[in-house]
Structure 1
Amino acid sequence: MTVGMRLDEAVWGLLHQALQLYRDSPRATGHLRHQLARLEEPLRIAIAGPWRSGKSTVLNAIMGEEVAPVDGPDGDGVFTWYEAGPQPRATAYSTSQPPRELTVVKSATGMRVDLVGWRAGELRSIVVQWPTRALRQVTLIDTPAINGTDEHGRAPVMDRVLRDADAVLYLTRDSRGTDLRVLESTRESRVGQDAPVNVILVLSRVDETGGGRIDALLTARQLARRQYRDPRVNALCVHMVACSGLIGLAGRVLSESDFAALAQLARVSRAELEPHLLSADRFVRGELPVRLGGEVRAALLNRLGLIGVRLATTLVRTGCDSRGKLAAELIRRSGLTELRESVNRFFVDRHDTLKARSALAAVEALIEAEPGPGTDELLSAVEQILAGAHEFRELRLLAALRAAGLGFDAELATEARRLVGGDGVGLATRLGVAHDATVQRLWEVAADAQWRWQNHAEDPLLRLAQRRGAQVVVRSCEGMLAELAEGGR
């Protein structure tokens, strides 16, 4: 919420200024027109991370269907794009051939794409159109594994991720070492330094930690909150969540036959069943105290993993006595609910801000690649927009509030988060009033909030970081009052 020129308007003007400057360069003008077109497209969210971090499983869990991975030939760095479409369809884009339609085989829980005949290195992208509500506002991008950094400290795959996507879910097994170095390499540009607001860090495959205990998911969430308070971590992302994509996906696609098999297992006492859940081989091949075929057991193991089977049978014993109840609790416990809420709050609700950020980054990269007369003034315009964009300050404040609250007491931190859009960006939601509140009511609440937070911003007893945070809240209140004065609600 910018006081003065809106961020999207400023970026639109910047792109046209750049088009005029680079009018004699076909490559540059084509790139800039592409950026203008992107402003009108759905938000692009890439799911990135190292090998076996669970990228495709998390993507499937978000979509609620098994559509990934679409595996290219061995060694390929293929990006797979999932966008909304009226019917299942897949198109391959190669480095040497025209686009080619691929055969899509639809299953009960998703699809499979036939990639027979493609050679390694030939495919660049696959675009999958899929009819689902999950893709109405976003395009999801499944990316190749990021295997560390090169001698210059860069990850080539991550460079393309940052060019093609507006926001990133970066999956990590431990949020340390190589993964942090990869994310730190994304902050080399001015946009990366001033607006590190497009990454959510996901502590993934958490069902495999904690020695297989059913409280491993809770432990992982506590670990994510603790690690996010590390300044090195929260400087790189707007939030960090723990999520088991496997268990979250299991909850979203759980069938009645799955539930019936789990209910049958749950009728066995925990003490009697537990020895059979010590390893996958024991569960699939051992003599269970109930009649459950090997294929059914293997399907449950594939769907839930050992910890998921343990968790599901425990939940059935303790009250999840229907498929719907069990599915909902698996989704909640997996961390998928928190992940989806974070994506909505930090990415979807802020799509205009993130798209503007992408355009700023693109112009900055173009200036670096093709410097010339007038580019210094263009770079100054980029820096001016970054310095004045209140939208970026709101997101950075939200990240700081989630990390440690800036030392505000719980009530102040909660109000600050709400006023800067942490609970939703609508005026009524920001102000904490009914959605049918009158303009007069909205004005009164916004004016009162502005006055109180101005006092906090000028309070000499507060730390500098707290006063600066309060100044951001004041600007948000001023923006709301300006919007109301213009007749918006």
Structure 2
Amino acid sequence: MTGGAAGTGAPPTGLRALLDAAIELYAERPAEADRLRARRERLDGPLRVALVGRVKAGKSTLLNALVGARVAPTDAGECTRVVTTYRHGAVPRVTRLDADGTARRLPVHRVAGGLELDLAGAAPQEVDQLVVDWPAPDLEPVTLVDTPGTSSLSVDTSARTHAFLDEEDRMPGADAIVYLTRQLQPDDVSFLAAFQSRSGAGGSSATTITVLSRADEIGSGRLDALHAADEVAHRMSGDPAVQAVSSAVLPVAGLLALAGRTLRHGEFVALRSLAHAPPADVESMLLSADRFCRAQAPVPVSATVRAALLERLGMFGVRLSIALVRAGMPDARALAEELVHRSGLAQLQAHIAERFTERSELLTAEAALRTVEAVLRATPLPGDDALWRELERLRLAAHAPVELALVAASEEDGVLPAELRTEARRLLGAHGGSPATRLGLVDHASEQELRSVAVETITRWQARGADPLAPRATRDAIAVVVHSCEAVLAELDGPRSGLPGAQPGAGGPGPEGDQTEGDQPRLGDERDPVDPSAPGDQALRHVHREQRQHARDQERPARP
């Protein structure tokens, strides 16, 4: 999984000061202090993305494909009933965190280039979660979490996932989620809406990507199954109820993706032998799994090897691989790359990078503000007035959540014209938060060139926003883009006196070291008040209102 640069800087100084002050105020309330301390530590760690969905949705298989190794159990064993966190580590390591708070190091059982997990005698209800350290480059920018099925027949098993994501009692275990489904149901939408309301995206869809999972099984596994899955995903993404809770809907064939990422030369040789066998015999075998694994078959590949291929690739994967080899796929590497491409995994990786990891500081910063607010509301203490004032100041100064929401909304018809969307997304920081990346310049562009392009871009977008014939939602979205460009220019101009301006994508005042002690407002300092009717927030409210009105208009029957 590729992860790009993560924005213009670390979370703002004011946010760290707010958390430190809150930790000090709640020093005699261990539960609240621990929660705040854990949230502060999360500011410096990789983003945590949970894979969530119903039982048998393919969560563990997709996680293995994202990691590039078989580290998550895919059977119905006891470990699939426990939340398991996969993070980057120099050496493989497995730690069991028990419900009573103790931690126990477990033996590492490596099998076939992967990992075999067990609970070492503990019952699932006695385990809070497993933590797996694994030396995979794809785990460096993001920590992945495998969760039990949300619709398990065991109420206790499903409850573990809900508790892991819930923020009512503690810090939630995920900053964003990839939700796997084969057909989105009303309770799935309700689940996602609940997560959004507690996540760091201000209730927008920016913290969720929906995956139409096991896409190769749509259309009975025919060679055109993935095209059919594309159409289903497109229809699903056009549903206003889905748009409200998810930033994208992507079809992914997890088993095909995993096979592509872990394909071995011997498997390619077996597939090549099948591709070169008499076509009529092979086509007859490909009619069903039973025929393919039949002991007596007129092909030079044993039944044992054929059964292993079926387990690794699935029926669709076997059919597709044989067709690709017949079409001239020369070696195992070429076939593996093609399988990954066709599976939809590369598209999902790009979306995770763009929507999550490249904006991780923004998501974690907003989530930290939500944690502080939750603690203050649940457990008010004398002297918390200064914390409330600083919390509100940081919230009002933040432009980042507005950018996140508009990036998610920009793909919908009616928000921005098609010819403006690509540039708008770049200017909003969808591909990275540095001034050069936002302005479409090389990383080593001179400050003069950056400033010149920023001024030209602001002028051009302001002219677009002045069009009186443009829909209100479009003009308001353009105002958000202009605000982002102005923030880029302000960053290039350096720190100014008075209230520190929010850097693009920083979620509040500038990063540490950008202000002198005299310029940085103290916690609770009421100078430099922030105007609560900042154009960014106001504009996005207009955008969302226009979208809701458009959806209502679409639902009304036409007048006779």
Q: TM-score, normalised by structure 1?
A: 0.90
Match of 1:417 among 417, 425, 429: 425
1:466 Cα offset (Å): 0.7
Q: After TM superposition, list the pairs within 5 Å mapping 1:315-334 onto structure 2.
A: 315-334=324-343
Please say if 1:218 is aligned against 2:227: yes
Choose 184-193 or 294-303, whichever is displaced more: 184-193
Matched residue of 2:364: which SS?
A: helix
Say if 2:461 is the partner of 1:461: no
Alignment of 1:431-442 (within 5 A): 431-442=439-450
- Give yes or no for the alignment of 1:182 onto 2:191: yes
The partner residue of 2:210 within 181, 198, 201 is 201
The one-letter amino acid paired with 2:29 is: S
Whole-Å Cα distance in 2 between the matches of residues 97 and 86 of structure 1? 25
Partner of 1:276: 285
Q: In structure 1, what residue type is equivalent to 2:298? A: P
Q: Secondary structure at the match of 1:285?
A: coil
Match of 2:164 in 1: 160
Kept in 2: contact 1:106–1:112 (CA 8 A): yes
Give yes or no for contact 1:70–1:113 (8 Å, CA) kept in 2: no
Aligned pair partner of 1:227 in 213, 226, 236: 236
**SS of match in other structure, 2:16:** helix
Shift of 1:70: 8.2
* Matched residue SS, 1:227: helix
- The CA deviation at 1:74 is 4.1
CA distance in 1, matches of 2:86, 2:261: 18
Cα offset, 1:286, TM superposition: 5.5
More displaced 10-residue stretch of structure 1: 136-145 or 434-443:
434-443
- How many angstroms does 1:268 deviate by? 3.6
Deviation track 1:122-163 (CA, whole Å, cap 9, x = no partner) reads 111111111111111221111111128999xx9662342250
Matched, 1:14 2:18: yes
Residues 423 and 86 (structure 1), Cα distance of their counterparts in 2 relative to 1, 3 Å cut = closer
Contact 2:55 2:152 in 1 (8 A): no
Q: CA offset at residue 332 of structure 1?
A: 0.5
Deviates more, 1:53-62 or 1:412-421: 412-421
Q: Is the Cα contact below 8 Å between 1:75 and 1:121 reproduced in 2? A: no
Q: Where does residue 350 of structure 1 map in the other structure?
A: 359
Relative to structure 1, is the Cα distance of residues 443 and 357 closer, same or farther in structure 2, using a 3 angstrom cutoff?
same
Note the C-alpha offset of 1:193. Answer: 4.7
Q: What root-mean-square deviation, in Å, do the aligned CA atoms of Structure 1 and Structure 2 show?
A: 3.0
Matched residue, 2:300: 291
- Distance apart, 1:382 and its partner CA: 4.4
What does 1:331-480 correspond to in 2, within 5 Å? Answer: 331-373=340-382, 378=387, 382=391, 385-404=394-413, 406-408=415-417, 410-480=418-488
2:49 counterpart of 1:40: no
Tell me how far apart the structure 2 counterparts of residues 159 and 333 of structure 1 sit (CA, whole Å). Answer: 35
Instruction: Output the amino acid matched with 1:275.
Output: S
Residues 105 and 150 of structure 1, relative CA distance in 2, 3 Å threshold: closer
Structure 1: give runs of 5+ residues left out of the alignment: none
1:49 counterpart = 2:58 = no
**1:345, distance to aligned residue in structure 2 (A):** 0.8
Do the aligned partners of 2:200 and 2:365 also contact (CA within 8 Å) in 1?
A: no
Is the CA contact 2:286–2:319 (under 8 Å) kept in the aligned structure 1? yes
Q: Which of the residues 479, 484, 493 maps onto 1:485? A: 493
Q: Deviations over 1:92-140 (max 9, x none)?
A: 1112473222121222331113434112411111111111111112211
3-state secondary structure, aligned to 1:83: strand
Residue in 2 aligned with 1:108? 112
Distance in 1 between the 2:51 and 2:237 partners?
A: 19
Cα pair distance change 1:452/1:216, threshold 3 Å: same
Between the two proteins, the alignment pairs up a number of residues equal to 484
Distance in 2 separating the partners of 1:370 and 1:329: 55
Partner amino acid for 1:241? L
Bigger mean CA deviation after superposition, 377-386 or 41-50: 377-386
CA distance in 2, matches of 1:104, 1:7: 36
Do the aligned residues in 2 keep the contact of 1:7 with 1:385 (CA within 8 Å)?
no
Equivalent AA in structure 2 for residue 478 of structure 1? E
Identify which of 139, 142, 150 aligns with 1:138. Answer: 142
Does the 8 A contact of 2:79 with 2:118 survive in 1? no
Look up the equivalent residue of 1:15 and give its one-letter code.
L
CA distance in 2 between partners of 1:231 and 1:471 (Å): 24
Distance in structure 1 (CA, Å) of the matches to 2:121 and 2:159: 29
Distance 2:263 2:318 in 1: 12
Gaps of 5+ in 2: 1-8, 167-171, 496-502, 505-560
State the distance in 1 between where 2:94 and 2:197 align: 35
- CA displacement 1:402-461 (0-9 Å, x = unmatched): 2336240x3211111121122333332322223332222221211111111112223221
Show the counterpart of 2:91: 87
How many Å separate the matches in 1 of 2:478 and 2:255?
40
**Residues 61 and 258, structure 2, Cα contact 8 Å, conserved in 1:** yes
Match of 1:306 among 302, 315, 320: 315
The Cα offsets for residues 208-240 of structure 1, whole Å up to 9 and x where unpaired, read as 111211221122223223322222112112222
Displacement of 1:22 after TM fit? 2.7
Give every structure 1 segment of 4 or more consecutive aligned residues whose post-TM-superposition deviation is greater than 6 Å: 70-73, 148-151
What is the alpha-carbon distance in structure 2 between the residues aligned to residue 113 and residue 148 of structure 1? 20
Are the aligned partners of 1:86 and 1:130 in contact in 2 as well (CA < 8 Å)?
A: yes
Inter-partner Cα distance in structure 1 for 2:74 and 2:132: 9
CA distance in 2 between counterparts of 1:362 and 1:197 reads 18
Q: CA deviation at 1:372?
A: 4.8
